[in-house]
Chain A
Amino acid sequence: MNTTVVPVATPPQAIPKASFDWKPVLLLVGLMLAAIPAIGSTSSWITLTFAGLAMGLIIFVIASGLTLVFGLMDVLNFGHGVFIALGAFMATTVMGGMAVFADQGALQALLAIFCAMLVAMAVAGGVGLAFERVIVRPVYGLHLKQILITMGGMIVGEEIIKVIWGPLQIALPLPEPLRGAFFFGDAGIEKYRIVASLVGLAVFGLLVWTLSRTKVGLLIRAGVQDREMVESLGYRIKRLFVGVFAAGSALAGLGGVMWGLYQQSVTPQIGAQVNVLIFIVIIIGGLGSTLGCFIGALLVGLLANYTGFLAPKVALFSNIGLMVAILLWRPQGLYPVTNR
């Protein structure tokens, strides 16, 4: 059939640039570079930077789930910390049980940590499913109630953790083969931090790949922008949400394991403590943005380590100061998610 298509006059600046916003990345690099003169010695800088990046990656693992859940379904889970705590405590059980095995060598140690991570993710993900069904689902769309009820969920969760593992701090020592550091000249890079960084990067890579190369990822990205339209295209996005929530909880559990090993101890309050930190990170990054969360987490990790070295008293406020500074620059976060 012959169609007479009237040619569309292409406007002058026809080809839109598929440009990537580099500024936040430059900020990150800038921070790292600015720290060199401040710190003075290159070896200290290397140590601190790696420590900061490792910490940042762990925080990213924990926060990534939260930001996606919020971006996709507008649900802010103030109880996210409970999954962190759960993961951390599961790690104490698993690592404790595998302690003898883990001490035998680096490979065994890594294997033990892997097991702990898998178990923690499974448990946290499972609890996440229950949490979504019982606590979150009834309050979709009601922000005030969400804040209250997820907070309540965290209280109950924390208490149940105390019932199972006791209310006291439990040590979570690194297996022998993973203690200590590699030295490059004067710069020491802790072995565990390398492991944590690799895991963190793997999670980031997996998330980015899923979001950009799979249909599920496509649905998530579209759903973050316009939930209604995704439904109008025929997708049951509510089911997807349950999956994302569970995945986010599993990631928090994974992060809990990594955090616990980083601190080498675990307390029931670990969830509430890290909660504040991850909220700051996702506000900095932009609620709903994975890349923003990534950069934000790295910024927070680096800043914490740099200020901890340079001016410990200031270190406590470095997070809030960073958040304020970034919000003044970009009120919606580093990578605002263009919304419905």
Chain B
Amino acid sequence: MLLNRILSHDLPRSRWLALALLIVLVALAVAPFAFPGVKALSVAAKALVFILLVASFDLLLGYTGIVSFAHTMFFGIGAYGVAIASTRMEPGFAAVLVGTAAALLVSLLLSLVIGLFSLRVKAIFYAMITLAVASAFQTLASQLSDFTGGEDGLSFKNPPWLSPSFEPFEAPFLGVTIDGKIFTYYLIFTVVVVLVLALLRIVNSPFGRVLQAIRENDFRAEAIGFRTVVYRTWSNVLSALFATVAGALLALWLRYVGPDTTLSFEIMLDILLIVVIGGMGTIYGAVVGSALFVLAQNYLQDLLKLGAVALEGVPVLSQVVTPDRWLLWLGVLFVLSVYHFPTGVVGRLRAARRRD
């Protein structure tokens, strides 16, 4: 079937999961029209970017079994690439393309170097080294202010078609004025859908299967004849490249890049949280997880706020049930997930199906 081929034969295998995915897809597809308002569209765009970002991380963690803390670095490279190009050159598609291409090149080289250098060592070494490298990169970005705008970041203009002030149609369409923002949104949507399908194709290919073999037992994979270093490096590089594109997309949406929009450790933690809670090694986990996460981050905090108001005055509880401390709850959920739900939301949904 056509669906089978599009999804590279990696079907959801669960009614519930398929339903969830469909809801996410449709909701994101019609977001500008179904959920009018600046905030709602922002949430949708952020969800899209995260879907791509986390899915690319799943390739590395879920399928290859490598923990890397440098993912946000590649995310940032993509964003800064577009930003720097758009500020140095005339803003326009040329700048965006040049910026993205340059960013991809930098990511390629960097991920190659990191991969070849550290993938020969134990996983723990690698995790620590990527932590150090990412941290250094973050400081670098805020230090090279001439180049990167330092702490303040860079604001820039999008290509004309993607600019918010671009309104090609006088009359509103389906109740919404079509402007550059909507075009940007659909650009992001298309790119993300295509790349996620590409990721599905990658993980279901012979290459992807070797990755999984390496994840399960690298000693054995090496014994069979696969040069694990090569495969791991490739996984590292691909994952970095996809993250870079996600960064470029984010830059186009925000029209601003700073050290904390892409490089912060909080974002790295968010990625980890999503991929674990969503379900490692599934790609769909990234989709469902990111959507849930971004929704929660923006709307659950309102819920927590209500809770805080209700518990006002209660000594400890009021401090704990506040929107500021939502990371606490997320952290607890994360720890519980690693133990009790190692297959994440996706795994649970699939298990539910088997019980039917």
A and B touch in the complex (CB under 8 A): yes
Within 8 A of A (CB), among B220-267: 265
Residues of A within 8 A of B265 (CB): 272
> Across the interface, do A280 and B65 meet the contact criterion of CB distance under 8 Å?
no
> Across the interface, do A331 and B121 meet the contact criterion of CB distance under 8 Å?
yes
A interface, over-half SS: helix
Within 8 A of A (CB), among B25-54: none
> Across the interface, do B136 and A320 meet the contact criterion of CB distance under 8 Å?
yes
> Across the interface, do B328 and A138 meet the contact criterion of CB distance under 8 Å?
no
What are the interface flags for A314-330 relative to B under an 8 Å C-beta threshold, 1 for contact and 0 otherwise? 00110110011000000
Residues of A within 8 A of B132 (CB): 276, 279-280, 319-320, 323
Residues of B within 8 A of A275 (CB): 131
Residues of A within 8 A of B155 (CB): none
> Across the interface, do B327 and A155 meet the contact criterion of CB distance under 8 Å?
yes
Residues of A within 8 A of B139 (CB): 316
Within 8 A of A (CB), among B50-87: 65, 67
In the complex, whether B9 has a CB less than 8 A from a CB of chain A is no
Give how many A residues have a beta carbon under 8 Å from the other chain's beta carbons.
37
Assembled-state Cα–Cα distance A36/B295 (Å): 57
Assembled-state Cα–Cα distance A279/B330 (Å): 25
Segment touching A, from B104-112, B197-205, B318-326: B318-326
Segment touching A, from B93-101, B122-130, B179-187, B300-308: B122-130
Residues of A within 8 A of B319 (CB): 163
Assembled-state Cα–Cα distance A143/B122 (Å): 10
In the complex, whether A156 has a CB less than 8 A from a CB of chain B is yes
Assembled-state Cα–Cα distance A78/B269 (Å): 13
Residues of A within 8 A of B140 (CB): 316-317
Assembled-state Cα–Cα distance A317/B342 (Å): 37
In the complex, whether B339 has a CB less than 8 A from a CB of chain A is yes
What are the interface flags for A146-161 relative to B under an 8 Å C-beta threshold, 1 for contact and 0 otherwise? 0111011101100110
In the complex, whether A167 has a CB less than 8 A from a CB of chain B is yes
Within 8 A of B (CB), among A53-79: 70, 76, 78
Assembled-state Cα–Cα distance A250/B269 (Å): 26
Closest to A149 in B: B338
Q: How far is the CB of B322 from chain A (nearest CB, A)?
A: 9
In the complex, whether A17 has a CB less than 8 A from a CB of chain B is no
In the complex, whether A39 has a CB less than 8 A from a CB of chain B is no
B129's contact among A78, A283, A316, by CB below 8 Å, is which? A283
Assembled-state Cα–Cα distance A323/B330 (Å): 34
Assembled-state Cα–Cα distance A335/B234 (Å): 32
> Across the interface, do A155 and B334 meet the contact criterion of CB distance under 8 Å?
yes
Residues of B within 8 A of A319 (CB): 132, 136
Within 8 A of B (CB), among A280-328: 280, 283, 287, 313, 316-317, 319-320, 323-324
Residues of A within 8 A of B143 (CB): 313, 316
> Across the interface, do B128 and A283 meet the contact criterion of CB distance under 8 Å?
yes
Closest to A138 in B: B339
> Across the interface, do A151 and B272 meet the contact criterion of CB distance under 8 Å?
yes
> Across the interface, do A144 and B128 meet the contact criterion of CB distance under 8 Å?
no
> Across the interface, do B328 and A76 meet the contact criterion of CB distance under 8 Å?
no
Q: Could you list 4 further interchain pairs (A-B, Cβ under 8 angstroms) beyond the known A143-B124, A145-B338, A155-B269?
A: A76-B124, A279-B131, A313-B143, A320-B136
